[in-house]
Amino acid sequence: METLAVNGGKPVRDKKIFYGHQWIDESDIEAVVGILKSDYLTCGPAVDKMEEQLAEYTGAKYAVAVSSGTAALHCACIAAGIGPGDEVITTPLTFAASANCVLYCGGKPVFADINPDTYNIDPISIEQHITKNTKAVIAVDFTGQAVQSDEIRAICDKHHLVYIEDAAHSIGTEYNGQRVGNLADMTCFSFHPVKTITGGEGGAVLTNSEELYKKIVLAHTHGITHDLELMEGAPHEGPWYYEQISLGYNYRITDFQAALITSQMKKIDFFKKRRQEIVRMYDEAFASVEELILQQEIAESDTCRHLYIIQLNSEKLTCTRREFFDAMSAENIQCQIHYVPVYWFPYYKHLGYDKGLCPNAEKVYNGIMSIPLYPQMSDEDVYDVIAAVKKIVSYYRI
């Protein structure tokens, strides 16, 4: 059944628009086809090139390309030495993978609350959740905005914790002039198609520590090494010989994904500029709309925004978030909600997590909605989204 627009009239748009979309051009296609015609589909030079480019772009010493952002987070937790009995503090307002990676290692995710204005993890809440078992913090640059990195760094140093940054949303973002990737002990990127740069699937871990780098490399390829120095002293059998010295996984990326990511990365400055333009258009259009609460930015973050979120002010609107979401769909604008608090999921409930743990995150979750944001949107697309939001606000205004 088709839903009618709120006023029963014509929708703002004829053609459906989604909240995010990749932008693949001819140069990306050529890069992938070039690999398909080459000798290496995996473990080849395109992977090395991607790693070099990410390290150069971010300023980090080392980059390890992996098969997904989730694999990147898992490798980071392995390198951090997370195991049974260890606690890792993260945010509930994130994709499940930010916490699942701790469970993969037998550790316990501990949820700190968010700042209700920026939606990022609150350093004060991190500190309140530290126990003698805390080993690491996984801070998520939610929507692309950098977390309060100096504060988190100081907390981690004081309590000897590993600082992991889940930067799935924030490639291209700078914090105090430093690119994300060069701030935490380990930074994890995702190259899923909804993210700013895509390889179809893909991820990477960045670090400045040689020790962590070596652990990440082992973790992402079975714990197998060809490095004689790392071998345990087994006789060198011949040129074919390698050793498995820890338990790792196959988290390798393919060369055609790596080539696509490298090709996309050439356009990151342009993507960032266009994303920032669209954010500015939305900010200006919604600044005077009292029924909406906008995400606040910290001055330190020059954000390459992945998501644009509007929060409904429930005291000024007669509709529920669901009604607003459906009304946007009826205007042919497909929004999304980022995210259901992770510990609300049945799996986490069965592990003993209860609703009410993080009141700020729960309150924000109840009112938010991500509206379309991707660089290929035309100005007209942006105006359509603004018109639809304003139309629905007017209709449900108290």
The residue range among 85-93, 162-170, 251-259, 295-303 that interacts with ligand PLP, by the rule CB under 6 A, is 162-170
Q: The tokens of 45 are what?
A: 């030079």
- Give me the residue label for tokens 């909804």: 194
Element spanning 189, H or E? strand 186-190
Element spanning 164, H or E? strand 162-166
- E strand map for 282-342: 292-294, 301-302, 308-312
- Tell which one of 94, 120, 187, 262 touches ligand PLP (CB under 6 A): 94
**Other beta carbons less than 10 A from residue 301's beta carbon:** 23
- State the greatest distance between any 2 C-alpha atoms of the chain, in Å, as a whole number: 79
| Nearest-angstrom CA–CA distance, 5 and 21 | 24
CA distances from 384 to 273, 279, 309, 335, 371 (A): 20, 14, 16, 13, 11
192 is an interface residue for ligand PLP by CB under 6 A: yes
The residue range among 56-64, 89-97, 118-126, 268-276 that interacts with ligand PLP, by the rule CB under 6 A, is 89-97
**226 phi and psi, to 5 degrees?**
-105, 0
| Nearest-angstrom CA–CA distance, 230 and 237 | 15
- Tell which one of 98, 134, 170, 173 touches ligand PLP (CB under 6 A): 98
**Other beta carbons less than 10 A from residue 243's beta carbon:** 15
- Tell which one of 113, 166, 297, 384 touches ligand PLP (CB under 6 A): 166
| Nearest-angstrom CA–CA distance, 261 and 48 | 12
The residue range among 92-100, 143-151, 312-320, 385-393 that interacts with ligand PLP, by the rule CB under 6 A, is 92-100
- Tell which one of 169, 215, 252, 391 touches ligand PLP (CB under 6 A): 169
End-to-end CA distance of the chain, in Å? 28
| Nearest-angstrom CA–CA distance, 190 and 205 | 9
- Tell which one of 70, 170, 207, 263 touches ligand PLP (CB under 6 A): 70
137, HSE (Cβ side, Cα atoms, 13 Å): 34
Here's the x/- map for ligand PLP, 110-149, by CB under 6 A: it reads as: ------------------------------x---------
| Nearest-angstrom CA–CA distance, 282 and 266 | 26
- Give me the residue label for tokens 């078992």: 133
- Tell which one of 109, 144, 199, 203 touches ligand PLP (CB under 6 A): 203
331 is an interface residue for ligand PLP by CB under 6 A: no
68 is an interface residue for ligand PLP by CB under 6 A: yes
Residue among 147 and 333 whose Cβ is closer to ligand PLP: 147
Nearest to 77 by CA among 201, 276, 251: 251
Least CB distance to ligand PLP at residue 68 (A) = 3
- Tell which one of 77, 168, 204, 342 touches ligand PLP (CB under 6 A): 168
Residue among 126 and 292 whose Cβ is closer to ligand PLP: 126
Least CB distance to ligand PLP at residue 132 (A) = 28
Least CB distance to ligand PLP at residue 12 (A) = 28
Least CB distance to ligand PLP at residue 189 (A) = 8
Least CB distance to ligand PLP at residue 177 (A) = 24
Residue among 221 and 225 whose Cβ is closer to ligand PLP: 221
Residue among 11 and 375 whose Cβ is closer to ligand PLP: 375
Nearest-CB residue to ligand PLP?
69
Under DSSP, is residue 89 helix (H, G, I), strand (E, B) or coil?
A: strand
- Tell which one of 95, 163, 213, 374 touches ligand PLP (CB under 6 A): 95
Point out which residues bind ligand PLP (CB under 6 A).
68-70, 94-95, 97-98, 140, 166, 168-169, 190, 192, 203
